[in-house]
Every structure is written in structure tokens, then in C-alpha cells.
Structure 1
Amino acid sequence: MTPLDYDYLQKILKERSGLMLSSDKKYLLESRLLPLARKMNLPGIPELVQKMRSGSESTIRDVVEAMTTNETFFFRDKTPFDHFKNSVIPELIKARANRKSLRIWCAAASTGQEPYSLAMILKDMAGELAGWRVEIIATDLSPEVLEKSKSGLYTQFEVQRGLPIQMLVKHFKQVGTMWQLNADTKSMVQYRQFNLLQDFAPLGKFDVIFCRNVLIYFDQATKTDIFNRLMKANEPDGYLFLGAAETVVGLTDAYRVCPQRRGVYLPNVGAARAPTATASLLAPSLKTSAVAGR
């Protein structure tokens, strides 16, 4: 792979997904793109880049998907899910007692373990949420991972990673060597293809937003822009959950740290914010599906 090829891939990934690929990530490119090249019966990455340069949108899309599909597992990092169950949802049940509805967004949901973790928690709180309308919208850039998510079908290895045995037995049934999420729990999550560089307005407002372990791949300007737009999509008394290695500190005043809750942030409604650059960041070739009410 020539330096020109690498520069081209950096540019495409930044434009289409926001992913910033530093100069020392050649190994990552090779590990993700060599299997894709072989799958397409191409000798290597240079030929893959040549096909992209020729204007093959499907190849560009496949490359972006290959580079942005990230690892996930059930109840990842555990603590945020404890906060969600033990404090955030009880507080929202009190705050939303009149309207009896909750809307939750899992951004960059990958293969579905995060939104299904939330669904299992809420399913187990059915008594407190009787008569409520609960929506969990999960979005991701990749149609491939969304299809896996919708199936709710996981390997033994996948369910062993973070999923307590009692929840496995309660919410899954074994199908051969795989584990199938129960239909009633699976139906709690709606999936949509969506790019975080797009306008959030069509998604509506959310009481809780999970945007974990994805912004670490973006540059500072893009992170700031996304945080500012997330705040507008968050209810004023809502919550934002970030990954363990992520923070808003030094990037935006659109959110403030939630005391005693690691990884949880509160909208800083009315705070002065740096102007966003949404229009220049949008990925015109990647269209979002309409999401009713969310």
C-alpha cells in the first residue's frame, strides 16, 4: 500500500464516517481490509483502493463498514448499566409519571448487545413500567451488523461475555449451538441505519442517549459538534452515557458531569456553545431512514 493509497483511505473514512485514522494505523487497515479484498477476489489493498477510486460506491461502503465495525458485548463495563437500572430509570419514572413514556437511543449499537442489555433491564422492571410506552432505538452505520442485531441470535462465546447466567436463562433459548433472544425482549428494540455525521433532528428527542465507545475515533472538532447536537436531541432533564475512555471535559459545555455516576452526563441547557459545523460534516451519500417519533 502506497502513501497515496493510505492518504486516500484516510480522506474517505473521515468524510464518510468521521473516523480519524492516524499515520500509525497501517496495521489496522491491513487487518480489516485484506479479508475484504480477498472476499472480493482482489489481490490486495492497492487493488481495493483502485476500485474505490474508479467510483464504485458499493466498494467504498464496504470499506467504511469494515473499518467502523467495532467490538461490543453484553453489559460492557457493567457500571453504566447499574446506574441506568438503579438510579436513572427510577428518576425518570418519577419525572415522566404524567406522560408514562420513555425514549432511549443507542447510537453506534453494532451487533446489538448494548440495546438488548437495556431491553433486558427494562423487561425485568415491567412492574414499575406497567402501562408505559418504552422505545429503544438502536442505530449503526453498517447494514451488515444491523441485520445481525435484528436476528437476536448469538454464539455461546458472545453470550458468555458479560451476560449473567440468570439473564441468559430468562431471556434466551438455546437453538443448536446458538442462543436466541426471546421475541418479546427482542421486539423492544427498533433498528435503523444512521450515520452520526447526519442531522439528528429526524430522530426526535430522547430521555436517555447511549453513545459509548465510538467518539474516541473522531477528531476534536467532530466530537464537539456531535456533543452539541446530542444535547439538542436529549430532553433537558435527560441523560447521556459515554464510554469509560470518553469525556465531555475540555470539548464542550453542552453537558456537565453527573455527580457520583461515572460515564453519565447531564444536558447543560442554555449553556453557551461553540458553533457547530453540522452542514459541512454531513455525509450526503448516506441517507437515514425516517424514525417515527424518536
Structure 2
Amino acid sequence: MSGFKPVTHRYDDALSRVSWDAFERLMAEHYRRLGYAVEHVGTGGGFNRTDGGIDLLLRREQEVIVVQCKHWNCWQVPHNDVHQLIGVMHTAGAIGAIIITSGEFTPKAIESGFKFRHIRLIDGRAVRAMLGPVAEPEMPHATVDCMPDWAPVRPRRSARRRSHSPLVAAAAALITMAVTLTVLYQYYLNEIQRAQLEATRASMTQAATRLAQASRMPPTYPGFTAHKPTSTIQGHPAIVHDTPTSKTDIAEWERQNAASMRILEKTTPSLP
């Protein structure tokens, strides 16, 4: 990490393998055994998104002490963290401050601790003596400060994001899948609607064609005889007789005419 110094001795034990929030809980339980009323105000104690530079708030009678925990095993805690805790101490109205690391402090941090008598620095050796044997975690965690040089300078927050990355990736995958399925389903519905619309248009076109054809054709129901067009002469109707063509037809035609004439003679009155 840029701007940080590596530890001179790196611990490899159960305390170095616990998670950063478990480290805070271990320290909170330790101070409860010492008679303090401990308020776990850091992000490892609940749903707090920020710790404001304080992980534990210790109270005993009129005594108020702020505590900052650093679960660092690879890098030394710099003097900047010490100065920041001094400012937080005055803001919280505390009479003292404790900064605890599972690893080491830089020489400048230790020097700053000597200058301010209200602040106490506890390194990895001292904290192991305070806690005694620590149970091995069921799932070992990488220390929050062991990260590549290109990682952000704020190790705790970066490590927290990294620890939750599988859940974030799973949630992102589910969201992507849901969006994809929604898009596919909408596309499927659009295709069905388009197919139905095309089928309706084709059916309407066929019906219109059949209706137009039916309007141009003469009726064909039983008992109906289509009339032949009437011939006209200068716009007036003309009676067209079928002219006989064979001898038999001519004889029959003459016979019918003679019969017609006889009927006319009988039915027509005599002129005076």
C-alpha cells in the first residue's frame, strides 16, 4: 500500500485470522469484563455505515473513553490515525482514547502517543496478552490491510467491500437475469401481437375481396332466372323474336300464327 510501512513481524495465529468485526467484538467483550459499559458504535457492531473514527465507547461512572480498533497484520498503523483519534476524543467529550492494533505502530505513531498522555497505544503483542488464547475462526479471513499496492488507501472499507463482493455479484447476476427475461418476454408478446394483427388483416382482405366479387355476380339462388338484356332501337325497347330456322319450326310457327289470328277474329268486335 502506498504510504504505509510493512510490519517487522507478521503474526500467524487465530487472532490474525479472525475478521475485522470479530476483532472489534473481542475487544468489546474484554472491556465489559473489566467493568465498562461498552457501546459498540463502529460498523462492526450493527447497521452503522460509518464509525466516525470510533469503534467502541467505554463508560464507567464519570469516565468516558473512545476506542479505535485496527485489525492490521501486514502494515504498521501510522501517526495520522493517532492524531485523528485525539480529535475525535475531544469531539465525543471523552477523557481518554485507546487505539488498538493486531499488528504494529510506526515509530512516529508511538512518538505521538508519548506526547499525548490521554491516549494509549496497544500493539499486537499487548493485545494478545490482554485477550489470551483466541478460538480459531471457522472461516479464516484475510487481514484487511493485506492488499495489493493499487488498492485504495483506506484498507478497512476496501476489505469490507471485498468481503461482500460475492453477494453483490450474485445480486447483480439476478438483476441482470430478471431484466433479460423481462425483455425476452416482452419481445415474445410483441411477436404474438404482430402475428395476430397480420392474420386479422389478411382475413379482412380476403373477406373484402369476396364481398366485392359477390357484388358483381348475379344471384344464383334456386328459382331465379337471369333476364337477358333488352334490345333497344333508338333508345326504345324492341321486341326480338326468335326466327325459325328449320322447316319443322317454320310449319309450327305458321300454325301458331293461324291459331292466333283465329282467336283475334273471334274476340275482336266487328266494325260498323
> Counting strand residues as a fraction of each chain, which structure ranks higher?
1
The structure with more helix, counted as a fraction of residues:
2
TM class, shorter-chain normalised? under 0.3
TM-score, structure 2 as length reference: 0.26
TM-score by length of 1: 0.25
